[in-house]
Amino acid sequence: MTETTTTLAIPVAAAEVWDALADFGEIARWAPNVDHSCLLSPQTEGVGTVRRIQAGRRTLVERVVEWQPGERLGYDIEGLPAMVRSLQSTWHLDERGPRTVVSLTTAIDAGSRPPQKLIAKALIRQLSKVSYQMLDGLDLHVRGSTP
């Protein structure tokens, strides 16, 4: 498993950040790299909630596997190239006074053989850039700007 974590301090309370993340079907409102999003599950929150996102020509399905209100949101991502065995993103919120430190960890499993590990490292570099874009979009959104 290869992973990367990106972090940003946002000058708002954790509850405001959580409200944006927990509105799971509406990620396209604040993530500049998501063109469209919608819920696929009848439930709108909690473990088992599923959304579909469109990012350019790629369609992904994201399934919530961890839901700790105000603290942590994790989801598996499906619809990636076959070389990716699994991909998971986890948001972690840590309120520190008037700001919230938001971390986004992305973990990828492309296999254990050396060529597969190289693929995972290359993909994780790309996903790290995507994570920074998402954090910046979230920051602008919760502070009342537009991404």
Domains of the chain: 2-24+68-142 (3.30.530.20)
What's the pLDDT tens digit per position in 34-92? 999 999 999 999 999 999 999 999 999 999 999 999 999 999 999 988 888 899 999 99
Distance CA 57, CA 78 (A): 15
Would you state the pLDDT for residue 78? 94
Write down the pTM of the prediction: 0.91
Has residue 147 got a pLDDT over 70? no
From the number of C-beta atoms within 10 Å of its C-beta (0-12, 13-18, 19+), residue 55 rates as: middle
Q: What is the mean pLDDT of residues 125-140?
A: 93
Name the average pLDDT for the chain: 93
Q: 77 or 117: whose pLDDT is higher?
A: 77
Would you state the pLDDT for residue 143? 93
Q: 101 or 110: whose pLDDT is higher?
A: 101
Distance CA 105, CA 27 (A): 17
